[in-house]
Structure 1
Amino acid sequence: MNITKEQIDELNAVVKVAVTKEDYQDKVETILKDYRKQANIPGFRKGQVPMGLIKKQYGKAVLVDEVNKLLQDNLNKYLTEEKLDVLGNPLPKQQDNFNWDAEDFAFEFELGLAPSFSIDLKSKDAITHYKIVADAKMIDEQVERLQKQYGKLISKEVVGKTDEITGTFVNEAEEIDHKTTLELDKIKDENALKSLIGKKAGEVVTLNTKDLFTEDYLLGSSLGISATKADNLEIEVSFTIEEINERELAPLDQEFFDKLFGKDVITSEEGLKERIKTDSEKQFEQQSDQKLLNDVTEHFIETTKFDLPEEFLTKWIKTTGEKQLTDDEANEEFKKSEKGLRYQLIEGKIIQENGIQIQFEELKDFAKGFIKEQMAQFGQLDPKDEELDGIAARVLSNQDEVKRLSEQLMSQKLLNLYKEKANLTSKEVTYEDFVKEVYG
């Protein structure tokens, strides 16, 4: 077998494969002999069918199958040995006069080649790395939420401005009939608030769902409908008041601190606020890091210029999916995937040039850390290492989980690299300002 490459341009090449009878004959003959031993054809004893009949019946199918296997194996080997960085897969060129009855065959495959480009991690323009801090206002609000959560409910006769009301929302046309508890300090609509204050159990109030709550997500949960259905919902609903309660805040005493964090872990209001600040900023760091990763990704895509073998990739997209696409559909799919493909190439180059690798022990430790965080959410704060090892082993036996965790660990390694080498400027903001600045 002879394989040669014809370079069309920097991004495109054609590989030519010449297959001779000597390349496939022995294998084809062996398979046909096995077929003869097993063949059951009327008029002949098993194993005694003439080879000519076997060849006539099965010969071409076996030939085609074996030649295709040879092509696949040798083409992949050639691409590896020649260190050709290809995009997609080789595409066979159409040959109108191809003849499977010949003894020697010639095949041609189109290749799309990865472009050459360079990446400068230390860009001229600095990328903002947000440091989100928990300010006094946020900490005080969190303390009050905790006091409410652990406080006492005191029954009331009449609705007050800061009370909690249990009742049922109804709208027959939208099939809404849902019992819920409303915190009046979460009501945004002033007219709705006025209509509720002063009411007693048993009374019915009509409310409009548009801008009813301070947070959009509250509408769906309060009405018992999906977030999708609740989005931009503007209807009138009746609300029947069933129970009115005032929540008395839990005192900031040692019993309260122990309920939150365990005995004597926190012993003062100042200690509580410091713990809340520390825990909140740790959570904010994850959001800040994700924002940085997104911004660095966008920066590299915008500033790293290179061409792609667009015609080849469009043809590859057109022919290699579950169903063959039209030219217009393939062009549209290429446009959708181009940005992702560009970043895959950029990320791959960054990983290669900086020698970033994932070792199994690293992945195992990463999985154990993830499992430990999950267990902590369910109150298991100090699991034994043997238990973590066992769970990690089960998780890592699942290839989908291995892929997911590997991607997360690689993202963390890239993030650490960017923090070390990229041109970053730190900006300290409150969470409220971060949300306004980043999400508008």
Structure 2
Amino acid sequence: MDIKLNDKENSRKELEATLTYEELTPYFEKAVEKYRKKVSIPGFRKGKAPLNMIRKLYGEGIEYSAVEDIAGEVFYKYITENNLDVISKGAITDIDYKPKEKLDFKIEFDVMPDVKIDKYKGLKLKKQTNKIDDSLVNDEINYHKFRSATYEIDGVASDDDYLITVDLQNLDESGNILIGQSQKDLKVYLGNPEIYPEFKEGMKGIKEGETRIIDSKNAEGEPKKVQISCTKVEKIIYPEMNSGFFKTVTGKDDLKTEEEFRAEIRNELQKIYDGISERQLKSDVVNEMIKENDIPAPERYIDVILDSMVEDYKSRYKGKKIPADFIEADFRNERRVDAIIQAKWYLIRDKIIEMEKIEADEESYRKIAEEFSGKFNIPADKLMEAYKDNEDIKMRILNDKVMDIIINNAELEEILELRTKEDSGEV
């Protein structure tokens, strides 16, 4: 067999091969045997006709039909034996079979480029550290109290701890009803800080069955009148701050005092905001590494990542209808920049894995298994064995190890951020 690998543009390769008829014969024999199993010839049971008869009747046609499969088999064997990191499956660009003589073919395909990393140590990075303010803890506790609250019918909304139900009707300047501009059974929590001041003031002390007119402004800042008719007034009854409530919120039954509960809430908020900071730091690492190591990403690799993004999106609707406004071409265009960033980062990351000889070790698998053991209710040891066969878990471990090397060798500036209730919208 005469076979050679030709370099094309960028990371594209061309496998060029010639097989003699003698080298083709074993492949053809397998093709004949395969064909015999499905052909019916009068006088013989299906799949039992003599091979010589099959060759005589269909031999040349079988050979022509088999040459593309043979080319694919030779291609796969070559890339496997030579450890080529192939991106694309490969496409036959030329194939020529001369019966009883030889087979010539060419297959083009893309491989991962061998990139050069100029810098991955000594990056200048900023890491945000977080201090949880009491106001954020209070806001989180109040949120859970509100979620667990009960309601008691009352006649008048005497303070902010009320939920009122109103019918809303827009009026013109003369106080006449504007047809089609109304809302019924609108529930309003009077303690909501997002309520417009004029509405908050206008609904103070409102009674069930009472109608009021509030002077407000429309989206353009022009004056408008709104008529509100209160149909229900409910007093919000908050739960007691006891161990039962603490367990409802946290799932833990060892919290006995309000101080312990507040400490637990603070600890969970700390984890959340530290996680946000960690993800931001890793995002900054990716951006800085791409900036310091400007490497081209093969178009085919970008397409592969976009394919994965499309499949991921569609998988969210498994068993359901994909939204009618989903247009794959538009989706690919919108996500293309993200795909390019991912492609460049993966190439950089994989090169660092090679340079640093990084491996997914036993301890790393155990750490992830212990992290998810409780969530899936599976013993960590069993989960760890399953994870060892999971390529995604392996790449997560390797990715984290690369991140650790870059961050641990960076010039890291820590910036303290006080997290207050104004930040609660982030989580």
TM-score w.r.t. structure 1 length? 0.67
Separation in 2 of the partners of 1:315 and 1:147? 49
Separation in 2 of the partners of 1:62 and 1:40? 19
Aligned pairs for 1:112-127 within 5 A: 112-113=110-111, 114-124=113-123, 126-127=124-125
Partners of 2:156 and 2:206 within 8 A in 1: yes
Which of 123, 134, 137 is the matching residue for 1:136? 134
User: Which residue does the alignment assign to 1:280?
Assistant: 269
Q: Which amino acid aligns with 1:339?
A: I
User: Which residue does the alignment assign to 1:388?
Assistant: 378
CA RMSD of aligned residues (A): 5.1
User: Which residue does the alignment assign to 1:199?
Assistant: 206
Separation in 2 of the partners of 1:14 and 1:53? 35
Q: How big is the shift at 1:4?
A: 0.8
Separation in 1 of the partners of 2:421 and 2:125? 18
Label 1:332 to 1:187 Cα distance change in 2 as closer, same or farther (>3 A). Answer: closer
Partners of 2:18 and 2:104 within 8 A in 1: yes
Which of 299, 307, 312 is the matching residue for 2:296? 307
Separation in 1 of the partners of 2:122 and 2:403? 16
Partners of 1:202 and 1:240 within 8 A in 2: yes
User: Which residue does the alignment assign to 2:328?
Assistant: none
Label 1:194 to 1:406 Cα distance change in 2 as closer, same or farther (>3 A). Answer: farther
1:64-123 per-position Cα deviation (integer Å, ceiling 9, x unaligned)? 33x44443333233334434444434332246xx34646311112234341421152224
Partners of 2:255 and 2:261 within 8 A in 1: no
User: Which residue does the alignment assign to 2:2?
Assistant: 2
Separation in 2 of the partners of 1:395 and 1:205? 67
Q: How big is the shift at 1:129?
A: 1.1
Which one has the bigger strand percentage? Answer: 2
Separation in 2 of the partners of 1:48 and 1:419? 69
Partners of 2:127 and 2:415 within 8 A in 1: yes
Q: Which amino acid aligns with 1:282?
A: K
Separation in 1 of the partners of 2:388 and 2:186? 41
Q: How big is the shift at 1:274?
A: 3.7
Q: Which amino acid aligns with 1:425?
A: E
Aligned pairs for 1:404-423 within 5 A: 405-406=393-394, 408-423=396-411
Moved more, 126-135 or 402-411: 402-411
Separation in 1 of the partners of 2:235 and 2:211? 17
Partners of 1:158 and 1:198 within 8 A in 2: yes
2:84 is aligned with 1:109: no
Label 1:60 to 1:435 Cα distance change in 2 as closer, same or farther (>3 A). Answer: farther
1:5-34 per-position Cα deviation (integer Å, ceiling 9, x unaligned)? 223466443221112212221342354256
Q: How big is the shift at 1:181?
A: 6.3
Partners of 2:366 and 2:380 within 8 A in 1: no
Q: Which amino acid aligns with 2:189?
A: L
Separation in 1 of the partners of 2:244 and 2:93? 78
The percentage of aligned residue pairs carrying the same residue is: 16
Label 1:277 to 1:81 Cα distance change in 2 as closer, same or farther (>3 A). Answer: same
TM-score w.r.t. structure 2 length? 0.69
User: Which residue does the alignment assign to 1:369?
Assistant: 371
Separation in 1 of the partners of 2:87 and 2:61? 32
Matched positions, count: 387
Aligned pairs for 1:253-272 within 5 A: 265=255, 267=257, 269=259, 271-272=260-261
For residue 192 of structure 2, give the secondary structure of its aligned residue in structure 1.
helix
Separation in 1 of the partners of 2:416 and 2:84? 46
User: Which residue does the alignment assign to 1:163?
Assistant: 161
Q: How big is the shift at 1:133?
A: 1.5
User: Which residue does the alignment assign to 1:82?
Assistant: 82
Q: Which amino acid aligns with 1:121?
A: Y
Partners of 2:162 and 2:191 within 8 A in 1: yes
Q: How big is the shift at 1:127?
A: 1.4
Partners of 1:128 and 1:427 within 8 A in 2: yes
Separation in 1 of the partners of 2:288 and 2:143? 39
Partners of 1:153 and 1:246 within 8 A in 2: yes
For residue 358 of structure 2, give the secondary structure of its aligned residue in structure 1.
coil
User: Which residue does the alignment assign to 1:294?
Assistant: 283
Separation in 2 of the partners of 1:130 and 1:300? 19
Q: Which amino acid aligns with 1:185?
A: N
1:223-258 per-position Cα deviation (integer Å, ceiling 9, x unaligned)? xxxxxxxxxxxxx9977542321446846x888778
Label 1:240 to 1:415 Cα distance change in 2 as closer, same or farther (>3 A). Answer: farther
For residue 388 of structure 1, give the secondary structure of its aligned residue in structure 2.
coil
User: Which residue does the alignment assign to 2:22?
Assistant: 22
Label 1:259 to 1:315 Cα distance change in 2 as closer, same or farther (>3 A). Answer: closer
Label 1:153 to 1:132 Cα distance change in 2 as closer, same or farther (>3 A). Answer: same
Separation in 1 of the partners of 2:49 and 2:254? 90
